[in-house]
Structure 1
Amino acid sequence: MSSYHSIELSGCELWLLAEKAIYWPAQRLLLIADAHFGKAAAYRSLGQPVPHGTTASNLAVIDSLLQRYPCDGLIFLGDFLHAPGSHAPSTLAALSQWRANTPLLPITLIRGNHDRHAGDPPQALNFQVVAEPLLLGPFALQHEPDPHPTHTVLAGHIHPAYRLRGPGRQQLRLPCFLLDERVSLLPAFGAFTGGYTIEAKGKQRIFVVGDGQVWPVTAQPSALPQD
């Protein structure tokens, strides 16, 4: 079973999922940031020895979430495709086959910086592609984490990660959600993505993702057990 952590933000209940996504139960929406489909293919086109199968594994995770949670829509908060090289035949074939299994699900892509470089997904995928922000309830759904004058921002782009410190020199860096009444960040969903280490400021809350669970960051000194 998927693990999630229920939180309240701007008067709404959101579920922070261990799969590095957000489910909004009142709207029956699944929110995903920074999938970066085709990133490995783009690197391989440059002669880099990177792993195969990341597109298939990412799509399998999305499928499992759509089966587990009742969804009336799926929204990608930018960077669906990674680069022009992401339009590799194998990547597009996998995406087309996946979309054929969910043809009636409304899917929206909010263009991110990589989407502008890579180009929109093929029309056959039947995505609604829009510019940021997409205003929905109290939230401004965006890719870039820029404050909005009237709405709480849910964004990606940063690929936030948090460094847990243990005894001695032990450290562990994990993807995380950062929650704030002005701008909140989702972790990068894609399996082949990096991360940018962040720290909480003021009343910001951090929830780390690891080992199939989501949990709030509390006391640092005891975050890691002694091996």
Structure 2
Amino acid sequence: MTSPHLTASALAVQWAGELLHLLPERALWWPAARVLLVADLHLGKAATYRALGQPVPGGTTQQNLARLDALIARLAPQRLVFLGDFLHAAQARTVLAAVADWRARHAGVAMTLVRGNHDSRAGDPPAALGIDVVDEPFLLGPFACCHHPQSHATHFVLAGHLHPVCRLYGPGRDSVRLPCFVSDARQAVLPAFGEFTGGWLMERAPDRRFYAVGGETVWALPPSD
């Protein structure tokens, strides 16, 4: 049964004995614990490129934060876990001010950042944001929340870092790349939440499942032979 807070386009999965929902917003919802997980925001990435003289679009930080606003308003999570790469690099004052305004709107939501490789370069978010910052793995129930995909002896790993995408083939030579969730026997990788992040095409494997995100829908792709 679909939760009243979820759209029919969310896809339910069972990982580590827990019911989870793969959201078309490229986020993961754990309803029993009221935990929302997202990976790879890379806030301020476009601004970093523009500072280098690259003609990339503006407004992506506000778009990312607005999408988080909508998810929080709809799901009312008790905790938001960032699976690494919250900030892309050391950021200008305008980006940090936007993030501070966003955090103030959700002061009642506990937030945890699992450090990723870009967090190591950018430094921890300012302490005034009230975001707990931890190293991987961050153990939460049956899950090991990580940035880098890896194995864990006792917990099912939830990770990011790879920005996974899959390729769907149409008639002739037509194909399209879509962001996706990817799961193996003891691990799942979330798509990048950020708007300006790119993606890595993950290869099929016998025990690997792909869940494509297209428009406002998530659907399971047929398993590999």
TM-score (norm 2): 0.94
What is the match of residue 62 of structure 1? Answer: 68
Q: 2:218 aligns with which of 204, 209, 214?
A: 214
Unmatched segments (≥5 aa) in structure 2: 1-5
Please list, as runs of the form range in 1=range in 2, the aligned pairs for 1:200-211 lying within 5 A after superposition.
200-211=204-215
Q: 1:168 aligns with which of 156, 159, 172?
A: 172
Quote the offset at 1:179 in angstroms: 1.3
Quote the offset at 1:199 in angstroms: 2.6
What is the match of residue 9 of structure 1? Answer: 15
Cα distance per residue 1:90-149 (max 9 Å; x no partner): 211110111111112110000000000111111111100000001112111000001111
Does the alignment pair 1:38 with 2:29?
no
Does the alignment pair 1:189 with 2:196?
no
Q: Distance in 2 between matches of 1:104 and 1:72?
A: 8
Does the alignment pair 1:101 with 2:94?
no
Unmatched segments (≥5 aa) in structure 1: 221-227
Please list, as runs of the form range in 1=range in 2, the aligned pairs for 1:132-143 lying within 5 A after superposition.
132-143=136-147
Q: 1:133 to 1:45 in 2, by over 3 A?
A: same
What is the match of residue 79 of structure 2? Answer: 73
The structure 1 segments of at least 4 consecutive aligned residues displaced by more than 6 Å after TM superposition are: none
Q: Distance in 2 between matches of 1:37 and 1:162?
A: 24
SS at match of 1:174: strand
For the 8 Å contact 2:209–2:223, the answer to whether it is kept is no
* TM-align CA RMSD: 1.3
Quote the offset at 1:38 in angstroms: 0.5
Quote the offset at 1:40 in angstroms: 0.6
Q: Distance in 2 between matches of 1:90 and 1:4?
A: 34
Does the alignment pair 1:125 with 2:123?
no
Please list, as runs of the form range in 1=range in 2, the aligned pairs for 1:143-162 lying within 5 A after superposition.
143-162=147-166
Quote the offset at 1:4 in angstroms: 0.7
Q: Distance in 2 between matches of 1:100 and 1:137?
A: 27
Q: Distance in 2 between matches of 1:70 and 1:81?
A: 24
Does the alignment pair 1:25 with 2:25?
no
Q: 1:219 to 1:153 in 2, by over 3 A?
A: closer
Cα distance per residue 1:170-224 (max 9 Å; x no partner): 010000000122221000000001100013312221100011110011289xxxx
Alignment coverage as a number of residue pairs: 218
SS at match of 1:14: strand
What is the match of residue 224 of structure 1? Answer: none
Please say which of residues 39-48 and 16-25 is displaced more in the overlay.
39-48
What is the match of residue 3 of structure 2? Answer: none
